[in-house]
Structure 1
Amino acid sequence: MGIHDGIDGLIAGNIKEMKWSDVTGWVSTGGAHLGTKRTLPGHRMGLIASRLQEFKIQALLIIGGFEGYQAALQFTEGRDEHEAFRIPIMVIPSTISNNVPGTEFSLGCDTALNEITEICDRIRQSAQGTKRRVFIIETMGGYCGYLATLAGLAGGADAAYIYEEKFTIKDLQMDVYHMATKMSEGVQRGLILRNEKASDNYNTDFIYRLYAEEGKGLFSARMNVLGHMQQGGSPTPFDRNLGTKMAAKAVDWLVCQLKNNTELDSSEIQCTDPNTACLLGIVKRQYQCTSLMALKAQTNFDQRIPKEQWWLKLRPLLRILAKHDSTYEEEGMYMSIEDRALVDPLYG
């Protein structure tokens, strides 16, 4: 059964049977054919539970971003009050922001990253043959700076401002001076990325005006807000394969949970264990199902981001490539003094 328009569609009963012919060609197109809405269950849990019982839904697969994860978590927490939620619940994280806990990659973030990188390349190419120019580009992602950071690495950005790494006016001043130095040494084009919610006061327009004012006589500045262009485009091979694999693994998991949690005498499904409501993600190059209740402690719900994000370790590398004074420490790169003494007798 396909539920159209998210939670609102479920409450409205906008549920239709889906066959193979209905999903033909979906793997090669972006977007959400079922429709999405960012609404959460909230106080409407009773209505949702009655709809699940009305349509005899025995397992639920939610494909969505942070709101999809949060809705599934609310369903899990509502199991004590509503029996309709005592069914297997699986979440496949799908958002360009890559801000869902329990996975290192969300479905769609690779496609968006490719789009941003390609747009940045086009923008820089447009300045060929002109005088020295710096481009200030705003990316999407909410409070999550994944897109700005990885696009900055891929596109050779001189700086990428994000919410997770606080910056002050002194940091902006140092970056402006550094850009001026590079321009005086013969560099023709500069690229500055800023995540849309990196700072309330140091917004994209402020940074653009700062570079435009300080660069007078040396370089000019241009501002671009990419907006919904990042959400378009055909899915990359990585996302196509990821979606297919995740769907197959999710269905296999749901069938397994149905077999293990169906009572033989009454044929009722009773999923009360926290491990019967999970999120399927990629953790250290492996597919992993993590309990939604376990992920709750790993989530910053105010900013809608995970408390720990692997890509933040790449931030020093971004500054090194932009010729800043910085160091990059790879995980497991350095040994303790005791371990070093064991392998190197001359150490010390």
Structure 2
Amino acid sequence: MGGYCGYLANMGALAAGADAAYIFEEQFDIRELQVFDLLTVFGLNCYRNENCNENYTTDFIYQLYSEEGKGVFDCRKNVLGHMQQGGAPSPFDRNFGTKISAKAMQWISKKLKETYRKGKVFANTDDSVCLLGMRRRNLVFQPVAELKNETDFVHRIPMEQWWLKLRPLMKILAKYKTSYDVSDSGQLEHVAMHSPKEAETGAI
């Protein structure tokens, strides 16, 4: 799930204490698939974002780990799919749904009063087409016209994603030697990732 957005894979990996999360926003190659000492590690746990890489598919990674682990460990894959979308709504979900619905209806009622003239509705300004979302714990209406400069429409993701600031935390918890330069916008500008074994042997 998630398309080109690695949010679900990253947060799932962080919550589960995974060893790696392969995402579209942080391009990777075969070296990132080899950073684990597959013959000695126990309980290797990896997450993969739906469209993170055209060639390194879930099947490819599964077959790679299965081959390397022959006689040492078994490998299983699980495509979570719609299970990630959650089950019964929590009290928070219900409360948030009520608040956002009420906010939307208030906005629609206000706009109808502003644009209704002589039996017709004149909705020809930028603020008549808005997206309602949460920013810094506030519900904010933002004109769709403004979002054009902030959105990657090809991949259907924001150009700046706040959750990328959590990537270093996931790598640190997975006990990797990491160095990150994270911009104020949350984008990863430089990434160096090495396994504990590589750091010990100097194979970096």
Q: Tell me the TM-score normalised to structure 2 length.
A: 0.83
How far apart are the structure 2 equivalents of 1:316 and 1:151?
Answer: 15
Q: Displacement, 1:228?
A: 2.9
Corresponding residue of 2:45: 191
Matches within 5 A, 1:268-347: 268-327=120-179
Matches within 5 A, 1:22-171: 140-171=1-32
Corresponding residue of 1:213: 67
RMSD: 2.0
Secondary structure of residue in 2 paired with 1:223: coil
Q: Displacement, 1:225?
A: 1.3
Secondary structure of residue in 2 paired with 1:190: coil
Identity, % of aligned positions: 52
Cα deviation, 1:111-131, whole Å, max 9, x if unaligned, reads: xxxxxxxxxxxxxxxxxxxxx
How far apart are the structure 2 equivalents of 1:197 and 1:280?
Answer: 26
Q: Displacement, 1:190?
A: 2.4
Q: Displacement, 1:147?
A: 0.6
Cα distance, 1:331–1:242 mapped onto 2, change above 3 Å: farther
How far apart are the structure 2 equivalents of 1:286 and 1:327?
Answer: 33
Q: Displacement, 1:242?
A: 1.8
How far apart are the structure 1 equivalents of 2:140 and 2:85?
Answer: 26
How far apart are the structure 1 equivalents of 2:155 and 2:91?
Answer: 30
How far apart are the structure 1 equivalents of 2:92 and 2:164?
Answer: 22
Q: Displacement, 1:269?
A: 1.6
Secondary structure of residue in 2 paired with 1:282: strand
Secondary structure of residue in 1 paired with 2:78: strand
Cα distance, 1:328–1:168 mapped onto 2, change above 3 Å: closer
How many residues align? The count is 184
Say whether the 8 Å CA contact 1:317–1:328 is kept in structure 2: no
Residue 96 (structure 2) pairs with residue 242 (structure 1): yes
Q: Tell me the TM-score normalised to structure 1 length.
A: 0.50
How far apart are the structure 2 equivalents of 1:330 and 1:167?
Answer: 18
Cα distance, 1:297–1:331 mapped onto 2, change above 3 Å: closer
Q: Displacement, 1:232?
A: 5.3
Corresponding residue of 1:201: 55
Corresponding residue of 2:189: none
How far apart are the structure 1 equivalents of 2:106 and 2:173?
Answer: 44
Residue 107 (structure 2) pairs with residue 253 (structure 1): yes
Q: Displacement, 1:290?
A: 0.3
Q: Displacement, 1:293?
A: 0.6
How far apart are the structure 1 equivalents of 2:137 and 2:60?
Answer: 39
Max Rg structure: 1
How far apart are the structure 2 equivalents of 1:210 and 1:273?
Answer: 54
Q: Displacement, 1:254?
A: 0.9
Q: Displacement, 1:328?
A: 6.3
Unmatched 5+ residue regions in structure 1?
A: 1-139, 333-348
Spell out structure 1 runs of 4+ moving beyond 6 A: 328-332
Unmatched 5+ residue regions in structure 2?
A: 185-204
Q: Which amino acid aligns with 1:245?
A: K
